[in-house]
Structure 1
């Protein structure tokens, strides 16, 4: 008996559902399962979710539940690359969480299945599920397959570099456009989308082995039907996110993120999720673990493979098996299994894609937390994608206040080997929204400068980006952090081995500049981004809208 829909007080609720075509038995006696569908027919990562939702419903009905599908917003961040509005993307994470919370609270669901595929949408639905703390499964949409151009693999991340400076109407550009996104699904590198799909599995919030199933594989539909069945059992067991998400589980996620060379954005998302779950997790955990965990995953940009290769090699369970000596094996998944039980069934089918810890891609881990007088709180670099020659570098600062201005300078030949580009006022409050610095990073690669020019910013990067680029600098420039005080010609140094980011000026000079600094006018003065800028936390605290 579903107590929420029985008795005199529930008459109006029952009447509303009968108006939707549901009968007394469905309304009164069966678990009500909310299907959160972030379907968007204009976003490849979410364009196929309508079909998966229908298969999930089959599983829910078969297990004795009643599915209620509703929509939550989703975007494809690549739709807005190069535009100022890219700043909306991270703030959208909180909008998605609020949508899940809003509808689920009003409609009093007994359980949730949350469908999502891409960068900020996956952590958005996860935040919503944690906030609701009712039985929940996050089902990721999987990756797209790999395109081919002139006999070589082509991925969405290659498009900007391969076509930069070319005639948009040329046959070459058109051919590249036609094959870069072969089908629905998330872009098949270790970008933020796939990094977060994997994180959902490591956190135990999805079924083992399914997070990286490519979007168009029949296996994805089978997994969707199983998820529909499983959520009904979870309601009966009262198995909630709070039963799964412990500090040990989050530490497993940190270890895995570093070992797979995951997107730097994962740090923001894991810290925000842990905060929502009431679990202690800080940048210091990433720093401590990052010093002892090698990068074992050969997916681009750390290696030469794709997420499709990774899945076919055994996926997340196979990688966790290689890392088991570093993990808390008693952590549990939504299936009720421990991590030890899950990896006991796994096998690594391609040790070139998923390496052993004795034969890593790099020995220093995929991510490094930097600190120093330019980043007193923290900064982040994806060390596994940095050329060996640039793991320690110094250079002259070239200061810009927007990604667009930095990219323009590169294209005009104004950036030279030995320079360190500074792109500031792009942090959570300054952008606002912590914009991804993609134009300048792509331009460095396209102009052959990614092994001789550094870039530091209080913004963030796409999971596609690679090279000697440092982001998430805190305190951010808009808050008066040291990055706001950098001048053209200052010498900036990065040392990954020593985990330092410094500027070669005296403390007295820093104080003098600070006394003369004035906070710029806010770039946005109304709407959701104004609310975000007023309420968001700093990058090292997850950059979320929380009190």
Structure 2
């Protein structure tokens, strides 16, 4: 920071007048000495801790470690809470509240005397929501990811919190998985502090932040319970003070090249499809033109290097012992933009030059990948004019080019009512179509796209079927699942008029998702289609329904996109 640039916090604390008195005097009841108000950088610690967010249950302790680092570097730490989003508990879906939490974060930062921000994150939506909010103010910001749980262990088997969930119905149907086994597995699956230990959405979002350059190098892979996590937390506290002095704001880190690095890295680690929606939303907050198609053109030809559930065998703890994300970043080499700046003030090339792999069964070499092409495939066609996505690394190869009859469920209630009906006309070649679960439809676009298969087919040994919806799926899930169909059914997209028995073609290689009926028939059905009644008439949900954009635009609220990081907005208060 130049000598003549004034700290933002000094607009509150620097005046020898009535308002300076007001701003300082009430804070003095906490016992802060005089020098805290005399030019120390004020660092806001944005904490997403909550008893209702078990994956973030340790973040109160994390905040204390971060404060230690801030104090050591000469900063003034002030912790504040924002809305927390517990993926495993909140209904109807945390995605409904991601934008609300981002607004909470943005306005808490903007309205207070803060010079730099530390974001304490963990569970799925707590990372993108806080990053989105921070982008809209554009101060120096560093992310402290809470970290994954230790490996789950159940009756001699290593199990992943998250991915094991999707096996429950099959185990209850085809194996001796009774109530006692269920309870034992529940305890074993989530046995330490931290978020899901697969490469699900939480781990993907932590990886995303490191790949964007928003964390210290190597931070995202360390398990939450490992003491090395505390070291990184303390160092992050030190580093944010330096970032303020350097005026290293989010917009200087989050360039177009940074977003491309995140897309490439996500492909290489087999990350969640949820990254797409969150990364687009973050980009549109900071003013980078990132499109849905970029995830295909930039990331779909990237090799899969990481052997983690749900695309592979191992878990995040194993990944860390093998060398973690630094090894992946080094292995990707020139597939990444190596010369761009990161939160520690160094480039990607400098940060990862010395990374060493300790287990090539978990982290493969670039010339011997687990899959030659991974990433996300973006589909187009008359069933998804604005796009849809599929994760090839988690899909069944024989279904990647398939035509089958649609078995249609109008909403989740319809699905739950009929899916296990013995008389349901469905076989392994059918295509399950689920409507009404997009951004406006549920509302909030829940993680239900990977719906369970019918019990009668599970009993026959069927493991996977094509499933198509306008919803999302958990990053811990797997299967040949087409997601984020846009326009969504609730606003009259083609998905809305699919009928039982219609033939649908999925051709991933040619990026096609097609309803095999004539244009005339599509037009006729759309003319007869009637929009559903609004799902809410008041409160935040009504605001959300009135302003949420499509999945291909990140499902953000239109009033939050673009321009928020301008100087006028930063200085509003």
Q: TM-score range by the shorter chain?
A: over 0.9
Asked whether 1:418 is paired with 2:424, we answer no
* Aligned partners of 1:451 and 1:468 also within 8 Å: no
Q: For 2:338 and 2:464, locate their aligned partners in 1 and report how far apart those are by CA, in whole Å.
A: 42
Residue in 1 aligned with 2:388?
Answer: 379
Asked whether 1:405 is paired with 2:417, we answer no
* Aligned partners of 2:405 and 2:430 also within 8 Å: yes
Q: For 1:451 and 1:388, locate their aligned partners in 2 and report how far apart those are by CA, in whole Å.
A: 13
Task: Give the aligned length.
Answer: 542
CA shift in 2, pair 1:448/1:431, >3 Å: farther
Residue in 2 aligned with 1:74?
Answer: 84
Q: For 1:215 and 1:443, locate their aligned partners in 2 and report how far apart those are by CA, in whole Å.
A: 37
Q: For 2:462 and 2:393, locate their aligned partners in 1 and report how far apart those are by CA, in whole Å.
A: 14
Q: Deviations over 1:17-37 (max 9, x none)?
A: 113322221122311111111
Give, in angstroms, the shift of residue 43 of structure 1: 2.5
Asked whether 1:454 is paired with 2:462, we answer no
Q: Equivalent of 2:447, from 416, 436, 439?
A: 436
* Aligned partners of 1:17 and 1:27 also within 8 Å: no
* Aligned partners of 2:46 and 2:82 also within 8 Å: yes
TM-score, normalised to structure 1, is 0.95
Residue in 2 aligned with 1:95?
Answer: 100
Q: Equivalent of 1:59, from 69, 72, 75?
A: 69
Q: Equivalent of 1:106, from 101, 104, 111?
A: 111
Which moved further from structure 2: 448-457 or 70-79?
Answer: 448-457
Residue in 2 aligned with 1:141?
Answer: 146
Q: For 1:306 and 1:328, locate their aligned partners in 2 and report how far apart those are by CA, in whole Å.
A: 27
Give, in angstroms, the shift of residue 226 of structure 1: 0.5
Asked whether 1:477 is paired with 2:486, we answer no
Q: Equivalent of 1:28, from 29, 38, 52?
A: 38
Q: Equivalent of 2:544, from 521, 532, 535?
A: 532
Q: Deviations over 1:314-339 (max 9, x none)?
A: 11111011111211111111111111
CA shift in 2, pair 1:448/1:185, >3 Å: farther
* Aligned partners of 1:144 and 1:183 also within 8 Å: yes
Which moved further from structure 2: 361-370 or 213-222?
Answer: 361-370
Residue in 2 aligned with 1:273?
Answer: 282
Q: For 1:332 and 1:266, locate their aligned partners in 2 and report how far apart those are by CA, in whole Å.
A: 22
- Map of 1:247-286 to 2, 5 A cutoff? 247-286=256-295
Q: Deviations over 1:278-315 (max 9, x none)?
A: 01110111121234212222111111011111122111
Q: Deviations over 1:212-231 (max 9, x none)?
A: 21011001111111011111
Residue in 1 aligned with 2:531?
Answer: 519
CA shift in 2, pair 1:290/1:59, >3 Å: closer
Residue in 2 aligned with 1:239?
Answer: 248
Give, in angstroms, the shift of residue 422 of structure 1: 0.8
TM-score, normalised to structure 2, is 0.91
* Aligned partners of 2:151 and 2:316 also within 8 Å: no
Residue in 2 aligned with 1:343?
Answer: 352
Q: For 2:142 and 2:453, locate their aligned partners in 1 and report how far apart those are by CA, in whole Å.
A: 36
Q: For 1:15 and 1:266, locate their aligned partners in 2 and report how far apart those are by CA, in whole Å.
A: 44
- Map of 1:258-337 to 2, 5 A cutoff? 258-337=267-346
| 5+ residue gaps, structure 2 | 1-5, 560-573
Which moved further from structure 2: 236-245 or 524-533?
Answer: 524-533
Q: For 1:312 and 1:362, locate their aligned partners in 2 and report how far apart those are by CA, in whole Å.
A: 22
Q: Equivalent of 1:11, from 18, 21, 30?
A: 21
CA shift in 2, pair 1:449/1:190, >3 Å: farther
Residue in 2 aligned with 1:156?
Answer: 161
* Aligned partners of 1:401 and 1:426 also within 8 Å: no
Give, in angstroms, the shift of residue 111 of structure 1: 0.7
* Aligned partners of 1:261 and 1:367 also within 8 Å: no
Asked whether 1:368 is paired with 2:373, we answer no
- Map of 1:121-270 to 2, 5 A cutoff? 121-157=126-162, 158-162=164-168, 165=172, 170-270=179-279
* Aligned partners of 2:453 and 2:464 also within 8 Å: no
* Aligned partners of 1:450 and 1:467 also within 8 Å: no
| 5+ residue gaps, structure 1 | none
Give, in angstroms, the shift of residue 438 of structure 1: 5.8
Q: For 1:545 and 1:202, locate their aligned partners in 2 and report how far apart those are by CA, in whole Å.
A: 25
CA shift in 2, pair 1:11/1:132, >3 Å: same
CA shift in 2, pair 1:66/1:446, >3 Å: farther
* Aligned partners of 2:217 and 2:352 also within 8 Å: no
* Aligned partners of 2:464 and 2:479 also within 8 Å: no
Which of structure 1's runs of 4+ aligned residues deviate more than 4 A? 163-169, 442-452
Give, in angstroms, the shift of residue 498 of structure 1: 1.2
Q: Deviations over 1:347-378 (max 9, x none)?
A: 22222111123222222213211111111111
Give, in angstroms, the shift of residue 545 of structure 1: 1.2
Q: Equivalent of 1:355, from 358, 364, 375?
A: 364
Give, in angstroms, the shift of residue 439 of structure 1: 7.0
Q: For 1:212 and 1:72, locate their aligned partners in 2 and report how far apart those are by CA, in whole Å.
A: 25
Q: Report SS of the residue matched to 1:459.
A: coil
Q: For 1:354 and 1:514, locate their aligned partners in 2 and report how far apart those are by CA, in whole Å.
A: 49
* Aligned partners of 1:406 and 1:421 also within 8 Å: no
